[in-house]
Structure 1
Amino acid sequence: MQSAKVDDTITVSHQIQPDDVRRIREAGFVAIINNRPDGEAADQPAGAEIARAAAEEGLAYAEIPVGRDGIGPDQIAGFARVLGEASGPVFAFCRTGTRSINLWALTQAGERDPDTILQLASGAGYDLSPMRPVLERLTEGAGQ
């Protein structure tokens, strides 16, 4: 399991397996967000398997898949909802963590300035600089 802490509220990760869920709980996470659609690759576990493991470990679990159509308002709102309802740190994953970090960044626009968002993402190993114009527009629209 390859993961990267973005800040105290969120860590993003490559694909996880059901047997990773116990370690995720032991690391202090309270929720898992699955941003990978089922059936994307033959070697990935079904979301239901990870959801079962999360339930057994007492973790909240949400499936917010991002597929070929990209990220839309419903996915951003769903990701923000899980972050807002979580009583502690959230662990989000997809194939490489990129969809998860992009969703996180979009939920932060208007809450944090674009420079801070991009710095946190960079610190986690993700270059989101191509998103700067979108983050700036969303921040302006939020009145920040």
Structure 2
Amino acid sequence: MKFLPALLPMALIGCSAATTTDTQIPTEETQNMFRKINDTISVSPQITLEDIATAKAEGVTLIINNRPDGEDPSAPQSADIEAAANAAGMDYVTIPITHSGFSAPQVDAMITALEGAKGKTLAYCRSGTRSTLLWSLAQAKQGVSPDEIARLAGNAGYDITPVRAMVDALSTGG
């Protein structure tokens, strides 16, 4: 993993992937903003306090916030989402990712959070991209094939190209 720290400060390109514009007519697919990556994790754009009940109804037991407080002052902040999640009987973890990139401790925190989940997980950020990319790095570090990671992320509408070199390096123990 000597080579990894040099790759981690990569800037995030294309973080607006998988968003819905105001001009699109909502369909059943876009009405549910939770995008399933696999049977244990979904990702989402910024959630509201009302979305906690929807997540709970879908079997989510852990919410991971990958958005730093203050990034959008009008959005619910970490403490508000955490309080609502805890009140609904859900676990909550915050692993904020800024636009400067990812770090090894953030990848390790994602692995720890996912390993500790007692059911389904919902990770969110502004668009779902940072959550997907962090999930991708965590999966790679655990030895999942980069092509499988890219396929699952792509099926959810996300492109891992901004971190593909890191995913490749992590999956080989680089």
TM-score (norm 1): 0.93
Following the alignment from structure 1 to structure 2, what is the Cα–Cα distance between the partners of residues 70 and 129? 14
The CA deviation at 1:130 is: 4.0
The CA deviation at 1:43 is: 1.8
Partner of residue 43, structure 2:
12
Point out where structure 2 has 5 or more consecutive residues left out of the alignment.
1-31
Following the alignment from structure 1 to structure 2, what is the Cα–Cα distance between the partners of residues 82 and 15? 19
Give 3-state SS (helix, strand or coil) of 1:12's partner. Answer: strand
Partner of residue 65, structure 1:
96
Point out where structure 1 has 5 or more consecutive residues left out of the alignment.
none
Structure of greater relative contact order (alpha carbons < 8 Å, 6+ residues apart): 2
RMSD: 1.3
Following the alignment from structure 1 to structure 2, what is the Cα–Cα distance between the partners of residues 72 and 56? 31
The CA deviation at 1:64 is: 0.6
Structure with the bigger percentage of helix? 1
Who wins on radius of gyration, i.e. which is larger?
2
The CA deviation at 1:47 is: 0.8
- 2:134 pairs with one of 103, 107, 110: 103
- 2:168 pairs with one of 132, 136, 143: 136
Partner of residue 32, structure 1:
63
The CA deviation at 1:78 is: 0.9
Give 3-state SS (helix, strand or coil) of 2:153's partner. Answer: helix
Following the alignment from structure 2 to structure 1, what is the Cα–Cα distance between the partners of residues 103 and 53? 31
Following the alignment from structure 2 to structure 1, what is the Cα–Cα distance between the partners of residues 77 and 160? 28
Following the alignment from structure 2 to structure 1, what is the Cα–Cα distance between the partners of residues 116 and 80? 23
Deviations along 1:72-106, whole A, 9 cap, x unmatched?
11111111111001121100000000110000000
Following the alignment from structure 2 to structure 1, what is the Cα–Cα distance between the partners of residues 168 and 57? 37
